[in-house]
Amino acid sequence: MNMFRKTARILAVMTMVVVVMGAVFSISLYPKKAQARHCGSSASQLACCLYITFVVHDTTQDMVTDWHQWQRFIVFGTAGTEFTTGTARLGEHEEFMLEEMFFQRILPAMMLMTEQLTSLMAYQTMIIGTFFDAKQQLETQALYQKLTTRAHKDYSPSTGMCMFGTNVRSVAAAEYNADFTKMVMNERFLDRQLGNEWSVGGGSGAEDLFSPALTPVPTPYNRLGYFLQNTCDNNDINREPGEPDTGLFFCNTTEGTGWMNRDIDFTNTVMGPRIINVDFKDNDASDNSRVFEMSNYLYGHETPDRIQAGVLKKQQNQSDLQFDRALTAKRSVAQNSFNALVGLKSRGTRDSDPAAPDARNFSSEGTSEYMHFILQQLGISDDTALYWNYMSQKNPTDFSGGDTERNEMSYYAQMEILAKRIYQRPEFYTELYDKPANVKRKAAALQGISMMLERDIYDSYLRSEAIMSLILEARVAEAQSNVENILAKLSEINK
């Protein structure tokens, strides 16, 4: 390329030299003839000189231009079009640039370079994608490992949590049994007070529970027969040891039995025990009759006399009947608290008790086995005198072999263990050194037990409110009676 440019410059310089030499030669060859022909006078000598100069200049310019165009056309040629190459050297140059340089060398090299760059970029892109895949894979593996660790941490079984879940299984069944016991005792109270047929008070007010055949001494109350047969203590009424006919010598009970005075001992019969052996689905439960007899002494010791239906034809007798029923209603409110307390402490359910279809039958009998372990940790061993004194205020050696004491814990006993005894164990606090999720689960379990206790307290408040309103009504009724008496006296004075 540089060689071509040098050649073109040399040719241009030579052309200019030839043109200048030709012009000088023409001026030097014809000056006198021109001057003689055109510049005859002195006045027109300047104009003639100028004319000759311009003509020579134009001639020279035309020659240079023609020579330059010819030289350019011959040497350099013309440029090519879109579909053809140029002529002469320019055409050769174009053909060289296109055919030899571009198509044979540059274009294949660029294609190879493009292919290589494309392959390299694809390979680099694959490497980058591999990095992305590796990053995603590592993050996913780290997430799985983190979730696995968290699951192992959060869902590992906890002995303390299982203790709540196991011991709470039969609470609902025991509570249902408590409600059933309260309902039966209330029905029995109404039957006795109203003289319902086939009830213990179905006859006269003096006939109650036991036949005279079981009473060793004459008595107008057949209920005394039950006392003499079951709960009589011959050491009462100033008995002198070794002296006959002292004390309650006519008791039929055997000395040393644990039932003495249980019909009037509210502390040891109802208030103290955690389990009262009461189950009205089982007639052999030993405390069934004892709580009935205690309720007889506490609420309506003497039942109202039974009146004949024909007596009610008189209006005065009708008012007496209504007064009697109002008295029975007030007694039912008072006895409701006693019935509820006995129901809470009545023994729980057994595995053999019937359950609803498809229901989960978690009996107190099965749960009691696990609750015994909690008591053992507190120093109360199972099947010992200490255990029975704690649970039922009874000593097993004092009871006859006919008693059917069992280990089914009552609703009251289960809630006492869940809401109190379980937290008196050191293991409860050492087990709090556990995973945070298990500690939260224990907190939720404690909150659930607290809600059950609050519901029981609420029910107790309702019973207390009913009794308070009944006491207020009794006071108001007394004040009303006084006011009516005063008004009656004033009416007699004004007559």
Q: What SS3 string covers the chain?
A: CHHHHHHHHHHHHHHHHHHHHHHHHHHHHCHHHHHHHHCCCCCCHHHHHHHHHHHHHHHHHHHHHHHHHHHHHHHHCCCCCCCCCCCHHHHHHHHHHHHHHHHHHHHHHHHHHHHHHHHHHHHHHHHHHHHHHHHHHHHHHHHHHHHHHHHHHHCCCCHHHHHHHHHCCCHHHHHHHHHHHHHHHHHHHHHHHHCCCCCCCCCCCCCCCCCHHHCCCCCCCCHHHHHHHHHCCCCCCCCCCCCCCCCCCCCCCCCCCCCCCCCCCHHHHHHCCCCECCCCCCCCCCCHHHHHHHHHHHCCCCCCCCCCHHHHHCHHHHHHHHHHHHHHHHHHHHHHHHHHHHHHHECCCCCCCCCCCCCCCCCHHHHHHHHHHHHHHCCCCCCCHHHHHHHHCCCHHHCCCCCCCCCCCCHHHHHHHHHCHHHHCHHHHHCCCCCHHHHHHHHHHHHHHHHHHHHHHHHHHHHHHHHHHHHHHHHHHHHHHHHHHHHHHHHHHHC
Q: Please report where in the chains the tokens 């073109």 appear, as a residue.
A: 8
Instruction: Give residue 203's pLDDT.
Output: 47
Instruction: Give residue 38's pLDDT.
Output: 47
pLDDT at 6 over 60: no
Residue spans per domain, the chain:
2-76, 163-420
In the beta sheet, which residues pair with residue 276?
346
Residue 351 and residue 397 in contact, taking contact as beta carbons nearer than 8 Å: no
372-376: list long-range contacts, CB under 8 Å, 24+ apart: 372/407, 374/163, 374/167, 374/417, 374/421, 374/422, 374/425, 375/417, 375/421
Instruction: Give residue 18's pLDDT.
Output: 56
Greater pLDDT, 358 or 337: 337
pLDDT at 109 over 70: yes
Mean pLDDT of 236-248: 67
Amino acid letter for position 137: Q
pLDDT at 256 over 60: no
Instruction: Give residue 418's pLDDT.
Output: 92
Instruction: Give residue 463's pLDDT.
Output: 93
pLDDT at 88 over 70: yes
Mean pLDDT of 242-250: 63
Q: Please report where in the chains the tokens 């571009």 appear, as a residue.
A: 102
Helix axes 171-194, 411-419, angle to 10 degrees: 140
Instruction: Give residue 466's pLDDT.
Output: 93
On average, the pLDDT of the chain sits at: 77
pLDDT band at 211 (very low <50, low <70, confident <90, very high): very low
Greater pLDDT, 411 or 290: 411
Residues 77 and 99: their CA atoms lie apart, in Å, by 18
pLDDT at 214 over 60: no
Residues 312 and 320: their CA atoms lie apart, in Å, by 9
Mean pLDDT of 94-102: 84
Mean pLDDT of 233-241: 73
Count of residues making up the chain? 495
Least confident range from 330-344, 360-374, 480-494: namely: 360-374
pLDDT at 436 over 90: no
Greater pLDDT, 53 or 91: 91
16-29 per-position pLDDT tens digit: 555 555 555 554 54
Q: Name the phi and psi angles at 346, rounded to 5.
A: -70, 150
pLDDT band at 210 (very low <50, low <70, confident <90, very high): very low
34-85 per-position pLDDT tens digit: 444 444 555 455 555 555 666 667 777 777 787 777 777 776 777 667 667 6
Q: Which of 37-46, 129-138, 478-487 has the highest mean pLDDT?
A: 129-138
Greater pLDDT, 44 or 172: 172
pLDDT at 115 over 80: yes
Greater pLDDT, 213 or 434: 434
The vertex-344 CA angle with 338 and 347, nearest 5°, equals 120
Q: How many CA atoms lie within 13 A of 409 on its CB side?
A: 28
Residues 260 and 231: their CA atoms lie apart, in Å, by 4
Instruction: Give residue 197's pLDDT.
Output: 62
Q: Name the phi and psi angles at 256, rounded to 5.
A: 95, -10
Residues 159 and 173: their CA atoms lie apart, in Å, by 24
357-408 per-position pLDDT tens digit: 555 567 788 888 888 888 888 888 776 677 777 888 776 655 554 444 566 8
Instruction: Give residue 29's pLDDT.
Output: 47
Q: Which of 362, 370, 345 is nearest to 170 (CA)?
A: 362
Percent of the chain with pLDDT strictly greater than 90: 21
Q: Name the phi and psi angles at 276, rounded to 5.
A: -105, 130
Greater pLDDT, 459 or 490: 459
Instruction: Give residue 452's pLDDT.
Output: 94
CA dihedral 341, 406, 380, 368 (to 10 degrees): -80
pTM as predicted: 0.67
pLDDT band at 323 (very low <50, low <70, confident <90, very high): confident
pLDDT at 453 over 90: yes
273-301 per-position pLDDT tens digit: 898 888 888 777 778 888 888 998 898 88
pLDDT at 227 over 60: yes
Least confident range from 229-233, 250-254, 473-477: namely: 250-254
Residues 140 and 368: their CA atoms lie apart, in Å, by 48
pLDDT band at 222 (very low <50, low <70, confident <90, very high): low
